[in-house]
Amino acid sequence: MKKLFAVLAVIASVSVMSVYAQDEVAEPAEQPVAEEQVEEAAAPEAEEAAADEIVSEDAVEEQGGIHQAIKQKFIEGGAGFMSTVALCLIFGLAIAIERIVYLSLSSADSKKLLKAVEEALDANDMEKAKEICRNTRGPVASIFYQGLLRYDEGIDVVEKSIISYGGVQTGLMERNVSWIGLFIGLAPMFGFMGTVIGMIGAFDKIQQPGDISATIVAGGIKVALITTVAGLIVAIILQIFYNFILSRIEAVVSDMEDSSITMLDILIKHGEQKKQA
């Protein structure tokens, strides 16, 4: 586009010079010859200047990099809708990062924990088993601790306690995840709204009486479509984080269920050994 503008500028300058030369036809023959020489000398200079301008603009773009390009597109898209799309990205990423950190801290070695608890129960040291669970991070250890607290009330009570507290821990892991889904839906909606409003403005310019500039109309449509692109990009980024978080939650929940069954088997075994003793 810039090269096209440069070529048009050169053509326009040559045309103006030719018109000026035609207006001076009534003068002596030597003067048109001199003007033609001036035109021939000026045209290469104009082309060189246009070429230098294109090279300088390309150099500025290369120096600015992707950061400058994103900044320019953000300004072209309009502060209103582009700001709302950017806020959806910021809040969505903040929640996603917080959830990822929480789930990373919730992960623990369940097999190692089960082995330590089983060894403590084999030694008839219930308090040590509780202390191991209390000092271990993660939802699995918390579920074990709730079950051990109610061991004296019977296996049925322990099982109900483990199931109930497992639901509580699942709710804690899924907390605020729905907000990410909300931002995934809002970002493209704001983008589409900006596009529709921009298209309305472009058609208003077409409807106005007088000369219609295709450049102005095309520029309005281009700016309108930038908001849609931004909204879709934000939605794609947040969708990736959203699916990753859900996969981590499913993995932790599956580990909790498997470990809870193993824990109940250990408690039943410990109860039978205690009766036999």
What's the pLDDT tens digit per position in 97-152?
A: 999 999 988 877 888 888 888 888 888 888 888 898 888 888 888 898 888 888 88
Q: What is the pTM of this model?
A: 0.68
Identify whether residues 66 and 106 lie together within a single domain: no
Identify the domain containing residue 51 by its residue range: 2-77
Identify whether residues 197 and 232 lie together within a single domain: yes
Identify whether residues 191 and 121 lie together within a single domain: yes
End position of a domain, from candidates 77, 99, 130: 77
Q: Which residue has the tokens 């003067």?
A: 31
CB 261 within 8 A of CB 144: no
- 78 Cβ contact list (under 8 Å, min separation 6): 194, 198, 223, 227
Identify whether residues 139 and 203 lie together within a single domain: yes
Q: How does residue 7 score in pLDDT terms, banded at 50, 70 and 90?
A: very low
What number of CA atoms fall less than 13 Å from residue 43's CA on the CB side?
A: 14
Top-confidence residue, 31 or 77: 77
Identify whether residues 194 and 239 lie together within a single domain: yes
Identify whether residues 93 and 197 lie together within a single domain: yes
Identify whether residues 61 and 180 lie together within a single domain: no
What's the pLDDT tens digit per position in 198-207?
A: 787 777 777 7
Identify whether residues 56 and 103 lie together within a single domain: no
